[in-house]
A and B are shown apart, each in its own frame.
Chain A
């Protein structure tokens, strides 16, 4: 479809980019002390984007803008997830005292641009487009990680992030250049056609190119062995940004991985297809299953040893990336929609957990486990919500975390007995994670003094934000059929079933 005709399907993205521009312009008007008001514009624009995504949803068009973008319910699901988490994180940032003393106008502008990049990542069907989208996300997250520029930890976080980020995208680019040499195409569908005509003597080049591309994408979702940047970056960044980085880029990264490998390397069931297994003569599904097992195990084992709750959550988010990766090798329809459900649940509970950590950091000046002592008695609302988030992150019923894990594990077991071991490793890891998640609960209720004065958070915004995150975390554990149906419908279009 030509560029001009495509514009009318592009409203959400247009509004999102206009939001970024309006945000930076409005920053010129406000005084320095009022610079947080830029967020009103940004949040308003994001809400408008959300509405337009819903309005234009349901259609399925491949090849917008001369075959560089797709519009389908699959990307719609991820777009909604990304826009929602951006709005929540912006609201979280209102109360963050870390950001006090810095201009906030640019913060919200950069976040809007990053949201735009993430949205583009979910719907790119051209290699050039996905490279540009990934770069937007990377560069904006370098800035956000280093936003506290007088804080040495934040500086270190952004330095490590930028250097390893530039390196991983360089490696990915080299892989893309090999792919270009074999196929001469940039569109995913054209690449697929070209690959299906390649002979066995191109195996080596194809394998190397896939490995290099996986380095770049694995970096984005912080899979082992490209996870080493995660804890330092997550600990050094402002907590609101840590929450954002642990959710939104992961969602977009998984969307991109699924779309790219699904279209370019196979028909409908990416890694299960004949082309995938015969052409490359390497057991890809097994290798990725192995990486997934390594990711969750390493994430969990290191999370146990942490003294700081923020760092513990950083490592545990690596483990969660591992659980989500379990769905990639099976790549069946149930696997992908298990992954989508898991991502949605994970967004709510992880943002919630980081929000409570941020609150405790601000109020009790510390992010170690000891800072949580007696929190459950002092502030019952936060205590109960944090308990809920921890239980959900472990994946126990009756919370939404259980539902997410259930669908992923079910898909893995359904895929046949060659993956039973993977499900087993996943279950063992969930049990291990119980130890450090419950440690937070123990500190909140059984350590420190039990105070008799009960209080709510002072600001109404904090209270309502905690409720907005905690209530769905709880109730989606009971009533999840709409979500499951939504994820399922999104996939039907995508896989053409």
Chain B
């Protein structure tokens, strides 16, 4: 049963990711992206990453996806997207993508990944918190400065200037 669910989730993820990059309409792409994100969330749950699964839903779907849809709506290009990609470019893209799928896929199967004996699923939140405030305290603090900078910059760019 779990296997069936897994392959279903995997199929949703990959199929909707394919829709994201091939759909003619930007808005359809964005909606397909929703299903990709949901599928990836499902994969996270299979990987026992409960905290990350929640973060994925909250930040990716609740934040980034909404931002993207906002961007599409505001720039008012919903139905009239005539992205003039020539077939040539598509061909090149397809060749590159298939090449990467083949080589990365071969790598995925053949490489001796670091594996340990399977442990029991455990709650991850506490250990993530411990790592963030112990081993990775510095990157954590530095990331806060990054977010401050991003905040300042984004408001500077999108603010309406009073005098033109």
List of A residues within 8 angstroms of B103 by Cβ: 204, 208
- B116-147 CB mask vs A (1 if < 8 Å, else 0) is 00000000000000000011111100110110
Instruction: Select from chain B the residue with minimum beta-carbon distance to A114.
Output: B149
Taking A126-B139, A139-B153 as contacts, is the C-beta distance between A204 and B107 under 8 angstroms? Answer: yes
Q: Are A24 and B135 in contact (CB under 8 A)?
A: no
List of B residues within 8 angstroms of A454 by Cβ: none
Q: Are B107 and A205 in contact (CB under 8 A)?
A: yes
Q: Are A103 and B156 in contact (CB under 8 A)?
A: yes
Instruction: Select from chain B the residue with minimum beta-carbon distance to A180.
Output: B114
Residue A120 interfacial (CB < 8 Å): yes
Residue B104 interfacial (CB < 8 Å): yes
List of B residues within 8 angstroms of A102 by Cβ: 161
Q: Are B111 and A205 in contact (CB under 8 A)?
A: yes
Which residue of the partner chain, among B104, B111, B134, B153, contacts A110 with CB atoms under 8 Å? B153
- B81-112 CB mask vs A (1 if < 8 Å, else 0) is 00000000000000000000001101100111
Taking A116-B145, A198-B112, A205-B107 as contacts, is the C-beta distance between A128 and B152 under 8 angstroms? Answer: no
- A206-218 CB mask vs B (1 if < 8 Å, else 0) is 0010000000000
Which residue of the partner chain, among A68, A101, A140, A198, contacts B138 with CB atoms under 8 Å? A68
List of A residues within 8 angstroms of B112 by Cβ: 182, 198-199, 201-202
List of B residues within 8 angstroms of A65 by Cβ: 137-138
Which residue of the partner chain, among A101, A109, A178, A208, contacts B152 with CB atoms under 8 Å? A109
**Nearest Cβ distance between residue A30 and chain B, in whole angstroms?**
15
Residue A136 interfacial (CB < 8 Å): yes
Residue B150 interfacial (CB < 8 Å): yes
Residue B148 interfacial (CB < 8 Å): yes
Instruction: Select from chain B the residue with minimum beta-carbon distance to A194.
Output: B114
**Nearest Cβ distance between residue B148 and chain A, in whole angstroms?**
7
- A114-145 CB mask vs B (1 if < 8 Å, else 0) is 10110010000010110011011001101100
Inter-chain CA distance A202–B114, complex, in Å, is 10
**Nearest Cβ distance between residue A179 and chain B, in whole angstroms?**
11
Instruction: Select from chain A the residue with minimum beta-carbon distance to B111.
Output: A205
Which residue of the partner chain, among A132, A149, A178, A204, contacts B142 with CB atoms under 8 Å? A132
Q: How large is the interface on A (under 10, 10 to 19, 20 to 34, 35 or more residues)?
A: 35 or more
**Nearest Cβ distance between residue A364 and chain B, in whole angstroms?**
25
Residue A113 interfacial (CB < 8 Å): yes
Q: Are B146 and A143 in contact (CB under 8 A)?
A: no
Q: Are A106 and B152 in contact (CB under 8 A)?
A: yes
Which residue of the partner chain, among A67, A136, A150, A202, contacts B149 with CB atoms under 8 Å? A136
Q: Are B111 and A129 in contact (CB under 8 A)?
A: no
Q: Are A129 and B114 in contact (CB under 8 A)?
A: no
Q: Which of B157, B163, B164 has the most CB of A within 10 A?
A: B157
**Nearest Cβ distance between residue B17 and chain A, in whole angstroms?**
14
List of B residues within 8 angstroms of A90 by Cβ: none
Q: Are B139 and A129 in contact (CB under 8 A)?
A: yes
Q: Are A113 and B149 in contact (CB under 8 A)?
A: yes
Instruction: Select from chain B the residue with minimum beta-carbon distance to A4.
Output: B137
Taking A128-B139, A129-B139 as contacts, is the C-beta distance between A20 and B145 under 8 angstroms? Answer: yes
List of B residues within 8 angstroms of A120 by Cβ: 142
Residue A181 interfacial (CB < 8 Å): yes
Inter-chain CA distance A194–B142, complex, in Å, is 27
The residues in A between 48 and 90 inclusive whose CB is less than 8 angstroms from any CB of B are 65-69
Q: Are B146 and A136 in contact (CB under 8 A)?
A: yes
Inter-chain CA distance A218–B139, complex, in Å, is 23
Q: Which of B110, B135, B142, B161 has the most CB of A within 10 A?
A: B142
List of A residues within 8 angstroms of B164 by Cβ: 101, 150
List of B residues within 8 angstroms of A117 by Cβ: 142, 146
List of A residues within 8 angstroms of B136 by Cβ: 66, 68, 126, 128
List of A residues within 8 angstroms of B145 by Cβ: 17, 20, 113, 116, 136
Inter-chain CA distance A114–B164, complex, in Å, is 27
**Nearest Cβ distance between residue A247 and chain B, in whole angstroms?**
20
**Nearest Cβ distance between residue B80 and chain A, in whole angstroms?**
20
List of B residues within 8 angstroms of A143 by Cβ: 149, 153, 156-157
Inter-chain CA distance A146–B157, complex, in Å, is 8
Residue A183 interfacial (CB < 8 Å): yes
Q: Are A3 and B106 in contact (CB under 8 A)?
A: no
Taking A106-B156, A139-B149 as contacts, is the C-beta distance between A66 and B111 under 8 angstroms? Answer: no
Q: Are A132 and B146 in contact (CB under 8 A)?
A: yes
Inter-chain CA distance A135–B161, complex, in Å, is 28
**Nearest Cβ distance between residue B102 and chain A, in whole angstroms?**
12
Inter-chain CA distance A198–B134, complex, in Å, is 29
Q: Are B111 and A181 in contact (CB under 8 A)?
A: yes
Residue A44 interfacial (CB < 8 Å): no
Inter-chain CA distance A198–B112, complex, in Å, is 8
Instruction: Select from chain B the residue with minimum beta-carbon distance to A66.
Output: B135
Residue A184 interfacial (CB < 8 Å): yes
Q: Are A140 and B149 in contact (CB under 8 A)?
A: yes
Q: Are B139 and A68 in contact (CB under 8 A)?
A: yes
Q: Are B152 and A129 in contact (CB under 8 A)?
A: no
List of A residues within 8 angstroms of B114 by Cβ: 181-184, 194
**Nearest Cβ distance between residue B138 and chain A, in whole angstroms?**
4
Inter-chain CA distance A146–B154, complex, in Å, is 11
**Nearest Cβ distance between residue B77 and chain A, in whole angstroms?**
15
Interchain Cβ contacts under 8 Å between A and B, 13 examples: A3-B134, A3-B138, A20-B149, A66-B136, A68-B138, A114-B149, A126-B139, A132-B142, A135-B146, A139-B146, A149-B156, A201-B110, A202-B111
15 new A-B pairs (CB below 8 Å) besides A102-B161, A129-B138, A202-B112? A101-B163, A106-B152, A110-B152, A116-B145, A128-B136, A129-B139, A132-B143, A135-B146, A140-B153, A143-B153, A147-B156, A182-B112, A201-B111, A204-B106, A204-B111
Top 3 A-B residue pairs of the complex, sorted by shortest distance between their CB atoms: A143-B153, A205-B111, A65-B138
Using CB atoms and an 8 Å cutoff, list the residues of chain B in contact with chain A: 103-104, 106-107, 110-114, 134-139, 142-143, 145-146, 148-150, 152-153, 156-157, 161, 163-164
